[in-house]
């Protein structure tokens, strides 16, 4: 194949050279095939949908792409229909409840979308919800709605191929919003092709690869990894609804086993979930021996998760070398760094006390101060990384933790309609050398021997008793201190009180402990573990029902939302404990509100 300059060129060429090859298979219920798409069929549907869009709006405008989770192939066709029409796709989470529909209106306004595309059934659902409550999302009624599953394929003959270039915007990829308001990253065709090449080379893909992806397709990891990477590599992928993972996690591994997947993965919590839910009898029916790249990203990667997964699933063929920790974000299209697929993950053990002072000091794994940090691989295709002091903007020494800055052709063009934030984040220069521009990731970490290590997020960093504290490390300590606490369902954050930061823990409890919860024992275990492991005192602990912790659509804990709910007293805890203090929680609302972005 020739080197394409746009995603449209790429699919057009695949449809001509590999027309009958099955590109996408979808499992609507997570188990049974509900449909497939060949490259030729996808090209035909994309041209028909593009022609329909071209009849409704001008080239270069933004189109909201919102599909139910069980309409994966319809999403794929519509996404490429947008690219074929020369419009900018804006993907979003499918809303079911009224409050989610109101959030969709916010996304529509922020992105200045002119058209909303979905299935006929889902548009009917939106229509009915908005009829019941006319004030719910009136702006959505101002958009032109298009049910792409009703567009006849013979409309493809009226399609006009737009003039697209490498720098043409392809889609807006919104950030997760885990540390603030979601922002739309402007991703070009060139960004996407560069990032696709990086993933292809770093994952060691070929036309013999096979993907299985359960991640939401509107999210960067699902869209880039599940839809666009298989197209770039010319290999088949089996897609499934993320609801299947939530309802029955074993379905993911059954699909990996059935289709002989070489590439599949997700955030750390998904691997944890499998270790918790899959029974030995179920595991023994699996064959994971062909799984070469089990990528893990989007949230902190835990060494004990890797160990547990390898120990439990090793008997059915899973190999430790298959684990592939990687680092990325929406601002870089997706992928920033990753290792070699033939190598096991690199684990470094650092002095946790020194880490709190932004120093990288190796210790033995047996040390009581040892904190395991997983390497996230190296940079690829000439992309650059720098570790900078976030205050002075100067380059850090090799043994110092600083903000991770990156540069490369996969970095997006900025945030849609946010020039001020774009300048700050995407156009950074090192103050001491003048080198740049770099993207300021907002992540803290360091680089050793070319390997990138992530330690936390700047916005989440807390200063308790004069020491830096990483919330994800405290959360990890908490979830391991008592079996009543649900793994990956807690948040640590700080609140200002009497001129100092005070630590608050909110954590969900396991369902089987819900009715007979040993409250004093659990709270005592939390306080003791944090004191011993982090030399910090806890101001308040809230134990919550399952499902109470706010999360993003991609499953990340929303610590800021947790902090706001705590200050508003809007959590409904199963139990709570708070230090006696002269301050009053309600008095904190005014200064906290002033600090919100």
Q: How far is CA 485 from CA 3, 267, 283, 514, in A?
A: 51, 20, 25, 10
**pLDDT bracket for residue 466 (50, 70, 90):** low
What's the average model confidence in pLDDT over 95-116?
A: 92
Structure-model confidence comparison of residues 457 and 317, the more confident one: 317
pLDDT tens track for 560-575: 889 889 989 999 999 9
Lowest mean pLDDT among 228-232, 246-250, 490-494: 246-250
What's the average model confidence in pLDDT over 406-429?
A: 96
- Beta strands, E only, 52-112: 62-65, 88-91
Comparing C-alpha atoms, which of 479, 482, 484, 483 is closest to residue 505? Answer: 479
Structure-model confidence comparison of residues 238 and 398, the more confident one: 238
The confidence score (pLDDT) of residue 246 equals: 79
What's the average model confidence in pLDDT over 348-364?
A: 91
Please tell me which of 76-85, 523-532, 535-544 the model is most confident about, judged by mean pLDDT: 76-85
Q: Sign of the CA dihedral 471, 473, 474, 476?
A: positive
The confidence score (pLDDT) of residue 198 equals: 97
pLDDT tens track for 165-189: 999 999 999 987 655 578 999 999 9
CATH superfamily assigned to domain 327-424+438-459: Luciferase; Domain 3 (2.30.38.10)
The confidence score (pLDDT) of residue 475 equals: 92
The confidence score (pLDDT) of residue 398 equals: 87
Answer whether residue 593 shows pLDDT above 50: no
Q: What is the CATH number of domain 462-594?
A: 3.30.300.30
Helix (H) or strand (E) holding 239: strand 237-240
Q: What is the CATH number of domain 7-249?
A: 3.40.50.12780
Q: Decide: 540 and 576 in contact? Cβ < 8 Å.
A: yes
Residues of the chain above pLDDT 70, percent:
95
What's the average model confidence in pLDDT over 230-241?
A: 97
The confidence score (pLDDT) of residue 580 equals: 66
SS3 (DSSP) at 102: helix
Comparing C-alpha atoms, which of 87, 97, 72 is closest to residue 242? Answer: 72
What's the average model confidence in pLDDT over 412-436?
A: 95
The confidence score (pLDDT) of residue 592 equals: 36
- Residue 578 phi/psi, 5° resolution? -145, 140
The confidence score (pLDDT) of residue 22 equals: 97
Averaged pLDDT of the chain? 91
Answer whether residue 596 shows pLDDT above 90: no
Alpha-carbon Rg for the chain in angstroms: 24
The confidence score (pLDDT) of residue 384 equals: 97
Structure-model confidence comparison of residues 303 and 395, the more confident one: 395
Domain range summary for the chain, segments of one domain joined by +? 7-249, 327-424+438-459, 462-594
The confidence score (pLDDT) of residue 473 equals: 87
Answer whether residue 533 shows pLDDT above 90: no
DSSP string, 525-580: HHHHHHHHHH---EEEEEEE-TT-S-B-TTS-B-HHHHHHHHHTT----SEEEE--
Please tell me which of 336-345, 511-520, 580-589 the model is most confident about, judged by mean pLDDT: 336-345
Residues of the chain above pLDDT 90, percent:
75
Answer whether residue 48 shows pLDDT above 50: yes
- Residue 185 phi/psi, 5° resolution? -80, 130
pLDDT tens track for 537-554: 899 999 999 999 998 776
What is Dmax (Cα atoms) for the chain? 74
């Amino acid at each position: 194949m020739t080197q394409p300059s746009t995603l449209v060129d790429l699919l057009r060429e695949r449809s001509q050279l590999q027309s009958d090859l099955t590109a996408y298979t979808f499992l609507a219920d997570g188990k049974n095939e509900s449909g497939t798409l060949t490259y030729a069929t996808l090209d035909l549907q994309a041209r028909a949908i593009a022609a329909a869009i071209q009849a409704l709006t001008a080239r270069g405008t933004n189109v909201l792409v919102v599909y139910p989770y069980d309409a994966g192939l319809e999403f794929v066709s519509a996404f490429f229909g947008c690219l074929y029409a020369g419009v900018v796709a804006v993907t979003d989470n499918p809303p079911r409840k009224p409050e989610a529909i109101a959030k969709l209106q916010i996304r529509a306004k922020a992105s200045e979308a002119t058209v909303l595309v979905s299935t006929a059934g889902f548009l009917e659902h939106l229509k009915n919800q908005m009829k019941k409550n006319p004030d719910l999302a009136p702006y959505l009624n101002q958009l032109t709605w298009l049910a792409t599953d009703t567009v006849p394929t013979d409309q493809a003959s009226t399609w006009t191929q737009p003039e697209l270039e490498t720098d043409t915007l392809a889609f807006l990829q919104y950030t997760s919003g885990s540390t603030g308001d979601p922002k739309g990253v402007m991703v070009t065709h060139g960004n996407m092709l560069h990032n696709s090449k990086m993933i292809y080379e770093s994952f060691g893909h070929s036309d013999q690869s096979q993907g299985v992806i359960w991640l939401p397709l509107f999210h960067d990891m699902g869209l880039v990894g599940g839809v666009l990477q298989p197209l770039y590599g010319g290999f088949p992928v089996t897609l499934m609804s993320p609801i299947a993972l939530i309802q029955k996690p074993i379905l993911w591994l059954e699909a990996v086993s059935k289709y002989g997947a070489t590439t599949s993965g997700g955030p750390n919590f998904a691997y944890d979930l499998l270790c918790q839910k899959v029974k030995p009898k179920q595991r023994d029916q699996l064959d994971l021996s062909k799984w070469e790249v089990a990528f893990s990203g989007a949230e902190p990667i835990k060494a004990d998760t890797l160990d547990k997964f390898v120990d439990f699933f090793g008997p059915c063929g899973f190999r430790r070398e298959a684990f592939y920790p990687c680092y990325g974000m929406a601002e870089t299209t997706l992928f920033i760094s990753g290792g070699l697929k033939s190598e096991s993950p690199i684990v470094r053990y650092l002095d946790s006390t020194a880490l709190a002072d932004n120093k990288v000091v190796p210790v033995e794994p047996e040390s009581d101060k040892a904190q395991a940090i997983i390497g996230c691989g190296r940079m690829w295709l000439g992309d650059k990384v720098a570790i900078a002091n976030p205050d002075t903007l100067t380059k850090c020494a090799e043994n110092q933790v600083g903000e991770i800055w990156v540069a490369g052709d996969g970095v997006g063009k900025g945030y849609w309609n946010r020039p001020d934030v774009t300048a700050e984040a995407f156009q950074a220069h090192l103050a001491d050398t003048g080198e740049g521009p770099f993207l300021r990731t907002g992540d803290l970490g360091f680089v050793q021997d070319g390997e990138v290590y992530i330690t936390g997020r700047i916005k989440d960093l807390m200063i308790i008793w004069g020491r830096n504290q990483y919330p994800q490390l405290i959360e990890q300590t908490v979830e391991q201190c008592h079996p009543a606490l649900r793994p990956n369902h807690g948040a640590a954050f700080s609140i200002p009180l009497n001129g100092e930061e005070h630590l608050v823990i909110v954590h969900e409890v396991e369902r089987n402990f819900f009715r007979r919860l040993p409250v004093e024992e659990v709270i005592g275990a939390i306080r003791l573990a944090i004191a011993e492991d982090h030399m910090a005192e806890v101001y308040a602990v809230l134990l919550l029902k399952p499902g109470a912790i706010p999360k993003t659509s991609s499953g990340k804990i929303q610590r800021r939302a947790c902090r706001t709910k705590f200050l508003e007293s809007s959590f409904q805890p199963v139990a709570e404990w708070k230090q006696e203090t002269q301050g009053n929680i309600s008095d904190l609302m005014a200064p906290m509100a002033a600090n919100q972005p």
